[in-house]
Structure 1
Amino acid sequence: MSAVLAHLSDPHLPLEIVPSRREWAIKRIISMISWRFNRRHIHRTRALAAVMRDIDACGADALAITGDLTNLGTREECIAATRWLDRLPTPRAVIPGNHDTMIRASWADGPGLWRDVGGMPDEETPVFLRVGDAALIGVSSAVPSPPFFASGRVSDIQIDRMAELLRRTGEQGLCRVVMIHHPPRKGLVLWSKALRGLDRFTEAVRSAGAEMVLHGHSHQGTFSTIPDSEIPVIGVTSASHRPGHSLKRAAGWNRISIHKEDRDWQITVESRRLAPDGQLHDFRTTRFTRPALRAEADIRPTKESVL
């Protein structure tokens, strides 16, 4: 059974409510200044609306949203993001980004509000969504960091649970898609924004196996691999970035088509970008093949394997 995924990230929904005094912190103040004088002119509601219309027109079986739905990660912003997610007609898997957990705060008043609209069951349990023969498995790399830093980390508990899900869905013969906000590859973002504990995360993905990894955070549509493997690592631009002279960083999304052919997964990634004319266009198409594992139920013992 084939599946079509819409991968989008970093929508940075409009900041409409000023945080209450008890929610202020140095890092939020710095980010608020950045939003007011810079980022609000970059992340535009009209651009995000165009991306969502394009996703709806192109058709997708599920949305894979890799974080940064908010700007300051306040409770009010997370509630607004809940309403936005709830209006989306397509099933979705949602993980938080660094902006969604900017300071130490209650999970229940932040990304925990998204539990019933596609988010993680709790802060240590990966989100899981099966779509046809594809399994979306999302972990949170979103942790509070000092001012002027946006680094991330995946907890050991999450990594262990992710690995178990990867093994289990591999035994079922599914196409395994890992979701994380921070790119699991050095050099894709500045060191101050990078994933800490990278080696443990990538080792778990290599050992348990996966067909691809989706990420956000970099605001760029990049293609790389998990180190020392052929597992593709796929980034995407911000879903709300205003169009400019270049389509490289303009708002966009990835249409990921998955189908099995003989014993291989045939995967096509169509990167869509918003042009100044207000329409989205094909920017790049990448195709790759990943060997498909056979489900345990499909494996029949031969005479030589019977003791």
Structure 2
Amino acid sequence: MSIFRIAHLSDPHLPPPAGAFGWRDLASKRLLSRIAWRRKHKEHQPDVLAALVADIKTYAPDHIAVTGDLTNFASTVEVEAARHWLNGLGASDRITLSPGNHDALVGATGPERFAAWSDWLGDGDEVAFPRLRIRDGVAIINLCSAIPTAPHLATGRLGQAQLTRLEALLADPAHRDLFRVVLIHHPPTPGAVSRRKSLDDREGLGAILARQGVDLVLHGHAHEGLVATTPGPDGAAIPVLGVPSASALGRGKHPAARWHAIEITRDGADAVSVRVIARGLDPQTGDVAELGRYVLA
């Protein structure tokens, strides 16, 4: 019997350091995000995030999955600050980051824009997504839905090239016997977020998952604790889990900060069980505590 434990957190929205917003940004989408941050920054607290990170380190997972939105304006100084935060989170080969829409607010559209975070995106020197990591019988497949969008939009898109590579990866017999976990920022299921925040090519991704199958999908973006499914091969249901923001006080419209411990237990070639333990900020005490647990069918 072997147990592989993943800690999933998302949307930390690290506080912008000095110089994150300049006069040149007055003519870009960053201005709208700056206005929104002035309204929302009290909800995202560094000490809340620090408490969650300390709790994760106490749990000592085998791997940490971060599903995006480390930054707010995608500025150069924010990207570097996020790199410093990732360094403090743990060894880069035990952390996988799927970038979010705030991490690609403006600028280049290609995957090279995330070069500063390359060590946390996947193994090998490949630039294009999906990126792959294989750990103790678990394949971590990292997708990137983060793209620059027009003002007032927070949609995501994988693009046909990434979808084509994903299908080839999932069809590879070398990965068929692994427990396959997909990381993506935008929810791949309908209704999780509004249309202006949705994944543009959700149906294309869904078709690939229905043909090739995976075992679990983890996402962020919605700032909610979500449990859903998407169709897999032969009528099977693929679990899709989302977590709230890892820095949220929970005093707005979204719940307080939370992370999920995902324990994948393999007993022989076919017997696999997955237990999810939700841990987060207890609004009554202000401490990080267990909020509930369940087993995925």
Please report the TM-score for the alignment, with normalisation by the length of structure 1. Answer: 0.86
Q: 2:294, 2:164 → 1: CA distance?
A: 31
Select the residue among 125, 138, 141 that pairs with 1:134: 138
* 178-187 vs 125-134, which moves further: 125-134
Greater C-alpha Rg? 1
Select the residue among 287, 293, 302 that pairs with 2:295: 287
Q: 2:188, 2:111 → 1: CA distance?
A: 27
Q: 2:251, 2:55 → 1: CA distance?
A: 18
Deviation at 1:203, TM superposition (A): 0.9
Q: Which residue of 1 aligns with 2:32?
A: 30
**2:109–2:148 Cα contact (<8 Å) kept:** no
CA deviation profile, 1:184-211 (whole Å, cap 9, x unmatched)? 0111101110111111111112212100
Alignment of 1:105-144 (within 5 A): 105=108, 110-118=113-121, 124-144=128-148
Q: 2:119, 2:162 → 1: CA distance?
A: 19
The reply on whether 1:46 has 2:52 as its aligned counterpart is no
Deviation at 1:93, TM superposition (A): 0.8
Q: Which amino acid aligns with 2:41?
A: R
Q: Which residue of 1 aligns with 2:260?
A: 254
Change (3 A) 1:160 1:106: closer
The reply on whether 1:241 has 2:241 as its aligned counterpart is no
Change (3 A) 1:20 1:198: same
Deviation at 1:127, TM superposition (A): 2.2
The reply on whether 1:147 has 2:151 as its aligned counterpart is yes
Change (3 A) 1:16 1:287: same
* 69-78 vs 158-167, which moves further: 158-167
CA RMSD of aligned residues (A): 2.2
Deviation at 1:171, TM superposition (A): 4.1
Q: 1:134, 1:287 → 2: CA distance?
A: 18
Deviation at 1:31, TM superposition (A): 0.6
Structure 2, unpaired ranges of 5+: none
Q: 1:106, 1:215 → 2: CA distance?
A: 21
Alignment of 1:199-218 (within 5 A): 199-218=203-222
Please report the TM-score for the alignment, with normalisation by the length of structure 2. Answer: 0.89
**2:122–2:142 Cα contact (<8 Å) kept:** no
Deviation at 1:43, TM superposition (A): 0.7
Q: Which amino acid aligns with 2:199?
A: L
Deviation at 1:119, TM superposition (A): 5.5
Alignment of 1:181-196 (within 5 A): 181-196=185-200
The reply on whether 1:92 has 2:100 as its aligned counterpart is no
Deviation at 1:144, TM superposition (A): 1.2
Change (3 A) 1:108 1:76: farther
**1:223–1:233 Cα contact (<8 Å) kept:** yes
Structure 2 residue matching 1:195: 3-state secondary structure:
coil
Deviation at 1:245, TM superposition (A): 9.6
**2:43–2:251 Cα contact (<8 Å) kept:** no
Q: Which residue of 2 aligns with 1:64?
A: 65
Structure 2 residue matching 1:210: 3-state secondary structure:
coil
Deviation at 1:274, TM superposition (A): 0.6
Structure 2 residue matching 1:259: 3-state secondary structure:
strand
Structure 1, unpaired ranges of 5+: 290-307
**1:167–1:209 Cα contact (<8 Å) kept:** no
Q: Which residue of 1 aligns with 2:166?
A: 162
Structure 1 residue matching 2:211: 3-state secondary structure:
helix
CA deviation profile, 1:50-109 (whole Å, cap 9, x unmatched)? 100010111200111111010011111111111111222241111110000011337588
Structure 2 residue matching 1:285: 3-state secondary structure:
strand
Q: Which residue of 2 aligns with 1:300?
A: none
The reply on whether 1:264 has 2:271 as its aligned counterpart is yes
Structure 1 residue matching 2:172: 3-state secondary structure:
helix
Q: 1:265, 1:24 → 2: CA distance?
A: 52
Q: 1:163, 1:205 → 2: CA distance?
A: 8
Structure 2 residue matching 1:158: 3-state secondary structure:
helix
